[in-house]
Chains A and B, each alone.
Chain A
Amino acid sequence: MGLTNNHFTEVILDSLGEGLFTVDKEFRINTFNRAAERILGIKKEEAIGDYCKNVMKSIRCFEECPLGRVLETGKNIYDFESELHHRSGRSIPVKINAAVLKDYDNSPIGGVISFRDMSYLEAIKSDLLTRSNFHGIIGQDKSMQEIYTLIEEVAESDSNVLIQGESGTGKEMVADAIQKTSRRHDKPFIKINCSVFPPQMLASELFGHVKGAYTDAIKDRVGRFEMADGGTIFLDEVAEMPLQMQVQLLRVLQEGTFERVGESITRKVNVRVIAATNKNIEACLKDGSFREDLYYRLNVIPVYVPPLRERKSDIPHLVQYFINRLSLIQGKKVDEADDEAMDILVGYDWPGNVRELANAIEYAFARTKDNVIHASKLPPQVRLGSCVKSGNNQPIGRNNHNNHSEEYITIRSALERNRWNRSMAARELGMGRTTLWRKMKALGLEIG
């Protein structure tokens, strides 16, 4: 059985991803496609026959009606940035195309407006503004924002930096960011992990040696400080440095001078030092394993990178980042972790911090056969160690709504309408799931 012309047109219009409606010359809606229903949250039956201004409910209908502009200028409109309103009252950034429909006599008989929901772009803009990815460091949490600000503030400085934080928190990435934003960004950047070399070797690594300085020294060797001259050196695990070496390091920091092992010639360098440690440095000072004078020389600009458990709002961003990265590298399409998996990931304390999270996602990614990571695919220690167990997605904070903000009520209502399914609620609210999660956390609408 064939389709009638009208039905055929309707099928075509409903297949479009863009919202589309047409009006007659009195601006009464006479076509309203499925995407328009979805974007505006308005049923076709409600829209048809009503004036577009009553359906769109946008002040812009009065001030800058796109069809009015087409009528006045005689030129169709493309990608006109505007704003419509969802039935819930939420504003939707859109790009509008508009054209006037004319009869055979070239007289206007109405108009057609199509619009694209640009909310996702706004979300990206917002992410960029809140700097969720600062030189590769993922995090929107206030503590991370403060680090980004500090890094930018000290970009012009050559002062030494001491980065403290637990293992796996991303201290090296912070060091990278400091170097990239500094005046020395185009100069050598040399990294060394002080904990991996025995004392004698560490001195040779840092300051170099001359041939015959010790048994294996078969030729002269330039040390890392010389290599870094004019630039920056990153001393990871600096608190593992033997005391004798700390004295030599202190001298380089104070005077910029040192001697290669086995040589008496004093060499001078200009190196900025960024040091990092996962040890409790105050305890090291107390037990005498780290020199106080060196500490003060290094700790001119202190940076504390918080453990992941202290910035749990960043977990959804990190999870999505790792999934996207793995998808790209491995060419396997995995879109996201489902709500239950995300709850478990957020409920886990991550003693190994971001590194452990990255490994957990890689593990789950490898086990995932469809495009969503489910809770059952997470590593057992994460599933068992999380304070959220599988199947428990009851929200905390189901207290009354009294005195709550408009945003709280809007988000909560959307969640309730969607039975606390955050993916669906986020779609309805026109925001990303991680954004919704962050807002839920801020508003006390957490899953526990």
Chain B
Amino acid sequence: MSEMLGNRYFLARQFDKALQYFEAALLESPDNNRIKKRLIICYIHVGQIERALSFFYDIVKIDPFIIINTDPYYDDCPCLDMIPGWESKLNKDSPKSDLYETLGMLYLFCDKDKSITYFRKALNQTAYKATISSILKRLTSIDSMQAH
């Protein structure tokens, strides 16, 4: 019930409501990566970047392609709509590290290289250095694997 209601509000872009239902749904199926992917977007939308990063890291550890292979239309992913809003904040003085982390997460849904760029920028300022390093390592390793 909760997952479907979460989906209903996610489709309607009512992320705060979707969040409640996805959280409940995740209790019923804790390994559901689809719910986690959507939760990342919901948490970013409501400004809970730490929670978003936690789920993001969980997925990247398992398989970054779960996120990389997202099709914005087919998966109804709002990343392309959200990115410009977050990027516009970059122009303000001294952007915070969570801005880079957020853009790193959002870009992985649609542009891996840009995602890596933002995570690298985040690395110098972040409070989650170990997590970001690990994410970067995982993402760059894909590149080297693909190169071979």
Contacts and interface: CB of A to CB of B under 8 A. Distances in A.
Given A51-B76, A53-B11, A68 B1 contact: no
B12 A25 contact: no
- Most A CB within 10 A of own CB, among B1, B5, B8, B9: B8
Nearest to B76: A51
Contacts of B96: none
B11 A108 contact: no
Contact of B11 (A51, A71, A107): A51
A71 B12 contact: no
B13 A71 contact: no
Contacts of A51: 11, 76
B3 interface: yes
Task: Classify chain A: how many residues form its interface, as a range.
Answer: 10 to 19
Given A25-B3, A107-B1, A108-B1, A67 B11 contact: no
A373 B5 CA distance: 54
Interface string A54-68: 000000011101011
Interface string A95-138: 00000100000011011000000000000000000000000000
A108 B12 contact: no
A61 B76 CA distance: 14
A72 B5 CA distance: 8
A441 B45 CA distance: 52
Contacts of A62: 11-14
Given A51-B76, A107-B1, A108-B1, A25 B7 contact: yes
A68 B8 contact: yes
Nearest to B13: A62
B1 A71 contact: yes
Nearest to B75: A26
A223 B68 CA distance: 98
Q: Which 8 pairs from chain A and chain B are nearest by CB?
A: A68-B8, A62-B12, A25-B4, A108-B4, A71-B5, A26-B7, A65-B8, A53-B11
Interface of B: 1, 3-5, 7-9, 11-14, 76
12 contacts: A26-B7, A27-B7, A51-B11, A53-B12, A62-B13, A63-B12, A65-B12, A67-B4, A68-B5, A68-B9, A71-B4, A100-B4
